[in-house]
Amino acid sequence: MPEQNKKYRIIISGGGTGGHIFPAVAIANQFKVVYPNAEILFVGANGRMEMTRVPEAGYKIVGLNIAGLQRKLTLQNLSFPFKVLSSISAAKKIIEDFKPDAVVGVGGYASAPVLFAATSKKIPALIQEQNSHAGITNKLLAKRVRKICVAYEGMEKYFPADKIVLTGNPVRSDIIGCNTKRFIALSHFNLQPNKKTILVIGGSLGARTLNESTAQSLNQLVAEGYQLIWQTGKTYHQTAQEKSAELSEKGVRVFDFIKTMDLAYAASDLVISRAGALSISELCLAGKPAILVPSPNVAEDHQTKNAMALVQKSAAVLVKDSEANTKLYPEAFALLKNEAKLQELSTNVLSMSKPGATAEIVNELIKLL
């Protein structure tokens, strides 16, 4: 292995949602553990959440003017080819200026032009695919990169088998062992230890179905004697605050975004979540019983496939998005009254965790170097 004091230069590209950003930051943090003198540059898409979240994590980021294709004919789609060409040109300039030793792509709009530009110059590249269904960006890049780190088995249908390494998804290290922080977490959220707590997370951008289902069940939730930590996303935050205004003293806590997710998991007895790859990886590490409500607005219904990987092993419960308004909270209240089922879900989901995922991905990157 190369010397630890070597000053490697690494570009990590991608973003758009927390599901891409947090794994990217986890990889960067782990690489800095191995090579403290490394210089890491992120490349994201202007106007997307990585442009604020990455600097908050302590890393420099530059943005490309790139956006995704819309599913229907729009003016934005007509400008798409020009944005791609200008983004590739901008990415080439970034690579010429920064001179990276290797490039990592985590999916999302910015990943494609950066990895295309890097591999054109024979710079070693690795991609990390979080989902059980490969994204279009990563499928296009698969032939150009040297290694593909995946979280699910059976990814040979999307990628060359000889490039695949099954590592699991990188997650924030503070989630490992988060349950030891339960009393700190309850104090942090000002919640009572003798009441059970539901954590609702609709992903980093929020989820309308989860928010609306939660809003209409608030009074019953409080009447049943439960507490709530509710991450709404920015769009629904004000509405949620208005609907829960008089319930704060009953243990209802509303946030647009939760930075201390380790404490949110630690305080919870049941998690209601979308089935994005990052959320599932975090649930596995935290060992939390969960009801998963897969988003219907994703490519190839991949969140349902993500969720079924857990459901088939009695490690989570699934409620369809279309049935959430009527079934989600009755299911949640029934689960919270069933200690044996909660324990079964917790034990089984914890057994599916891959706590060494980030280190394995960094080891693959080191091999390329």
SS3 of the chain: helix, strand, coil, percent, to 5: 50, 15, 35
The verdict on whether residue 131 carries a ligand-binding annotation is yes
The verdict on whether residue 14 carries a ligand-binding annotation is no
Q: What is the 3-state secondary structure (H, E, C) of 287-329?
A: CCCEEECCCCCCHHHHHHHHHHHHHCCCCCEECCHHHHHHHHH
45 token code pair: 């898409």
Q: CA torsion 139→144→146→150, rounded to 10°?
A: -10
150 token code pair: 């995946």
Angle between the 234-243 and 208-223 helix axes, to the nearest 10 degrees? 20
Of residues 246, 255, 147, the one with CA closest to residue 200: 255
d(CA 273, CA 115): 31
The verdict on whether residue 274 carries a ligand-binding annotation is no
The verdict on whether residue 63 carries a ligand-binding annotation is no
**CB-based contact 318:307 (threshold 8 Å):** yes
Residue 164, strand partner residues? 148
* Bridging pattern class, strands 317-318 and 290-292: parallel
The verdict on whether residue 19 carries a ligand-binding annotation is yes
The verdict on whether residue 175 carries a ligand-binding annotation is no
Alpha carbon 19 to chain centroid distance?
A: 2
The verdict on whether residue 68 carries a ligand-binding annotation is no
Give the three-class secondary structure for 200.
strand
Segments in 11-163 forming alpha helices (H): 18-34, 50-56, 75-98, 111-120, 136-141
Please report, in angstroms and rounded to a whole number, the separation of the first and last CA atoms in the chain. 9
List of E strands, the chain: 9-13, 39-45, 60-64, 102-105, 125-129, 147-150, 164-166, 197-201, 227-231, 252-255, 270-273, 290-292, 317-318
The verdict on whether residue 18 carries a ligand-binding annotation is yes
d(CA 287, CA 282): 8
Provide the annotated binding site.
17-19, 131, 172, 204, 258, 303
Provide the annotated binding site for UDP-N-acetyl-alpha-D-glucosamine.
17-19, 131, 172, 204, 258, 303
